[in-house]
Chains A and B, each alone.
Chain A
Amino acid sequence: MNIPVHFWSYFRDLAGAAQGEVQVPEGATVETVLNAVYAAHPRLGALRQSTLIAVGVEYQGPSFVLRPGDEVSLFPPVQGG
C-alpha cells in the first residue's frame, strides 16, 4: 500500500517537498515508513529524537500499524501561541 507522508515546518525544507509517498507491505508500522523516509532524507533522520508523528490527526508512535488510506505527518516540536 502507498502511504502519503506530509512534512511540516522546517521538515518540509529538509525533505525538499511538502509531501512524499512510501510503499509499504500490508500490516506495516509507522516505523517502516520512518526507516524509508530517513534513508531518503538523512538530515531528517538526525532529528528523529525530537520528531513528532501523526497518523491522520492523531499522534501515534512507531509501533502503530498502518491501514490503507492512512496518511503520516512528520514535524518538529510545536510552537503555538
Chain B
Amino acid sequence: MIRFLQLTRTPIEEAALTAGASASAEFGAVIRFSGVVRGREGEAVIRGIRYEAFEAMATHQFQKLFDEMSARWPAVGSVRLVHRLGFVAAGDASLWVEVSAPHRGEAFAACQWLIDSMKQVVPIWKHVEPLEPS
C-alpha cells in the first residue's frame, strides 16, 4: 500500500495534493475527506484552533494505523493524510485524507476507520483560540 503522511504548519493545498495523485485503473474508488475548523465551539464564536502534537509519537502511531488499515482492508492501494499543526483559522482545513481502493465500500470503510482511530490514539491536541475582542 502506498502511504504518504505529512504533519504541516502551512495550509493544506488540496488542489496540489489532488493534482499530485497518481491515477490508476486499479482503483475505482478514491475517497477524499477534508476536516474543516468550525467557527463555533459550543456557543462561542472562535478565531480558530491551535493544534499541538507530540510529533515523533504521532508519526509512529499514524504509521501503525496505516499498517492496521492495510491488514484490515488489503485491497486498499493508497492512503495519503495531511494534518495541520499550529494555528488553523476557522473555515480552513485541519485534516485531509485520501484513500484509494478498487471498490467504494472498502474505501469508505477504511477512510472512516482511519479517522475514527486517529482520534483515539494519535497524540494531537486542540487548543481553542477565542475571538479577540474588537
A interface residues, Cβ below 8 angstroms from B: 6, 8-10, 52, 54, 56-59, 73, 75-76, 78-81
Contact = CB atoms under 8 A, between A and B. Distances in A.
Given A57-B57, A57-B61, A73-B54, A78 B94 contact: no
7 contacts: A54-B57, A56-B57, A57-B56, A79-B124, A80-B58, A80-B125, A81-B94
B35 interface: yes
Contact of B125 (A8, A56, A57): A8
Given A8-B52, A9-B52, A81-B94, A75 B123 contact: yes
B118 interface: yes
Contacts of A59: 121
B47 interface: no
B122 A78 contact: yes
B95 interface: yes
A31 B115 CA distance: 31
For chain B, the bracket of interface size reads: 20 to 34
B95 A76 contact: no
B33 to A, nearest CB: 10
Given A56-B57, A81-B118, 13 more contacts: A8-B125, A9-B125, A57-B57, A57-B60, A73-B54, A73-B123, A78-B121, A78-B125, A79-B119, A79-B125, A80-B51, A81-B35, A81-B124
Contact of B124 (A56, A73, A78): A78
Given A54-B57, A80-B118, A81-B118, A8 B94 contact: no
Interface of B: 35, 51-54, 56-58, 60-61, 83, 94-95, 115, 118-127
